[in-house]
Structure 1
Amino acid sequence: MKKVTAAIIEKDGKVLIAQRPKNDKLSLKWEFPGGKVENDETPQECLVREIKEELNLSIKISGYFMKNVYYYETGGIELMSYFAEITDGELELNAHEAVEWVEKSKLKQFDFAPADIKILNCFLHDFQN
């Protein structure tokens, strides 16, 4: 099972989401940005590296949120999500089709990748309570 990370980054009441590229197996689906954990790193190290590589942003992880295990036709993933804050950098698109800062109340309007949906729903539930 692949270990994958995702960052929930909030700023000024909005959440950063990223759209997967057109040529991706989850073409144009939205997600919380992150990526696959490599053998020699922790999930937290992975998340810091992936956000820097893909978005040119330095982040500080502020806490663990939750894990979701999801099975695609190609195999299972363990998606670990963390809250993070941007500490430095100018946003660049190095791996995604687009990024958006979205109000929490509008996140459900986006077509999220299946593995991210449970995390999205739990995040919104926690936000409302």
Structure 2
Amino acid sequence: MMRELIPQQPLLLVVAAALVDTSGRVLLQQRPAHKQMGGLWEFPGGKVENGETPEAAILRELAEELDIIVDHSCLAPACFASEPLGDRHLLLLLFVLRKWQGDPKPLDATAMQWVTPAQMFSIDMPPADRPLIGLLDALL
């Protein structure tokens, strides 16, 4: 059997976090209107920088975006999503965490909200985030 090969695209490695509160709700933040996919709701996170591990990247991103501190030991790798994104290919690594220091604030987002995984099915989210909803719904 012959497989069809697709042209190689540069890989964009992105990390995200599903912060889960004591009620089983997950934090989503809204992308600013001026950014790509503006207005959509997403898990907090961002790009992994050169020389950075995914774990270091998500700890940095959570501090920058939500003003919270997370201990490395509280990160639980959950799943990933793979999605074409223009001239690149996005690989999104999702961590789940239930413990952090500080109250999350939307420093880099228009707004934030706590929702159950079941509610996420009807929320406008980026294509790479959507496949992660079912897993969170099953886990939480």
Q: Given the two structures, how large is their TM-score scaled by the length of structure 1?
A: 0.90
Does the alignment pair 1:52 with 2:63?
yes
Q: How does 1:86-125 map to 2 (within 5 A)?
A: 86-124=99-137
Aligned-partner SS, 1:21: coil
Unaligned stretches of 5+ in structure 2? 1-10
CA distance in 1, matches of 2:45, 2:29: 9
Superposition deviation, residue 105 in structure 1 = 2.6
Root mean square deviation of aligned Cα: 1.5
* Paired position in structure 1 for 2:76: 63
* Paired position in structure 1 for 2:17: 7
- Runs (4+) of structure 1 moved beyond 4 Å? none
* Paired position in structure 2 for 1:127: 139
CA distance in 2, matches of 1:39, 1:47: 14
State the identity %. 28
Deviations 1:72-95 (A, max 9, x none): 224211100011234212322221
Unaligned stretches of 5+ in structure 1? none
More strand by share: 1
Q: How does 1:77-92 map to 2 (within 5 A)?
A: 77-92=90-105
Superposition deviation, residue 65 in structure 1 = 0.6
With 85-94 and 18-27 compared, the bigger mean Cα shift is at 85-94
Q: Aligned residues, how many? A: 127
CA distance in 2, matches of 1:29, 1:86: 25
Deviations 1:24-78 (A, max 9, x none): 1111111111110011210011000001001101123331111111102242111
Q: Given the two structures, how large is their TM-score scaled by the length of structure 2?
A: 0.83
Does the alignment pair 1:26 with 2:40?
no
